[in-house]
Amino acid sequence: MSQNIPRPMRLSDLRQRALAFINETDDDSYNTQAVINGYINDGYLEMVASNPSTAIEDVWSFSTSVDVRGYTLPVGFLKAGRVFYGGVPVHPGAVRDMNFWSTGSGWPTLYAFWGDKLIFGPSPPSEIKTVDVYHTREPVLMSEDDDEPDGVPNFLRAGLYYYACGMLLAGMGDPQGTDTKMMARFKEYTKRYVEWKLSSGRDEFQVVRDTSRDMSRGNVSGLWL
């Protein structure tokens, strides 16, 4: 039996639903598309920023250069979770731990942040290696009709057009208080988003114990990954 998978709600879908609620369309709306898109993005930002633990998760991958210790952070970078240099974990350090004053390069064991740079040390890399930085970042605002609110699952995206509906109705001076009801719905979806995020996140990259050796003889590896 085939499954009916719902089509992901994109920016155009969210806008059309908000307009339909006030009996308008793109072609006959008092409000411009840019205004309504702005409301949807405002709701998106508020939803994602509603809890410190609900930021968007991403992976930044790049290759190092020999003798170069500093690499510019991607736009919207917020916080690093784990950093891997050539597949090996690199630990957080401080700028004072970096060896800026002596010549030489090697295999970095530490990373730190300085301004808009991720820097490696104590000495800079002596080889070209792939770096993977698991991190959180700011959401990318939607501008094109096919854009989707990344990080927000499809079943929670309806909250964004409820926010837009509330803003549109407030601008019209809704005497029935429907704008308040729409905002209450948005807040309920935001609460559900936080609950979903906290129950399905990566849990801060917990350390895993290697138990691959023969446990029947009590010989369990003490290696921590």
Q: Are residues 151 and 41 in the same domain?
A: yes
So what's the pLDDT on residue 124? Answer: 94
One-letter amino acid of 35: V
Confidence of residue 179 (pLDDT cuts 50, 70, 90): confident
Query: Above 80 in pLDDT, residue 212?
Result: no
Number of domains in the chain: 2
The C-alpha torsion from 6 through 47 and 187 to 202, rounded to 10°, is 70
Query: Above 70 in pLDDT, residue 211?
Result: no
Confidence of residue 2 (pLDDT cuts 50, 70, 90): low
Kindly state whether residue 213 falls inside one of the protein's structural domains. no
| 85: Cα separation from own chain's centroid | 22
Q: Are residues 75 and 37 in the same domain?
A: no
Q: Are residues 190 and 125 in the same domain?
A: no
Mean pLDDT of the chain: 85
Strand 88-92, strand 110-114: pairing: parallel
Confidence of residue 64 (pLDDT cuts 50, 70, 90): very high
Q: Provide the 3-class DSSP secondary structure of residue 80.
A: strand
Q: Are residues 87 and 143 in the same domain?
A: no
CB 105 within 8 A of CB 166: no
Q: Are residues 15 and 47 in the same domain?
A: yes
Kindly state whether residue 211 falls inside one of the protein's structural domains. no
Kindly state whether residue 212 falls inside one of the protein's structural domains. no
CB 91 within 8 A of CB 82: no
Q: Provide the 3-class DSSP secondary structure of residue 35.
A: helix
Higher-pLDDT residue of 200 and 39 is: 39
Q: Which domain holds residue 62?
A: 56-137
Pick the closest to residue 13 from 195, 176, 142 (CA basis). 142
Q: Are residues 156 and 194 in the same domain?
A: yes
Kindly state whether residue 222 falls inside one of the protein's structural domains. no
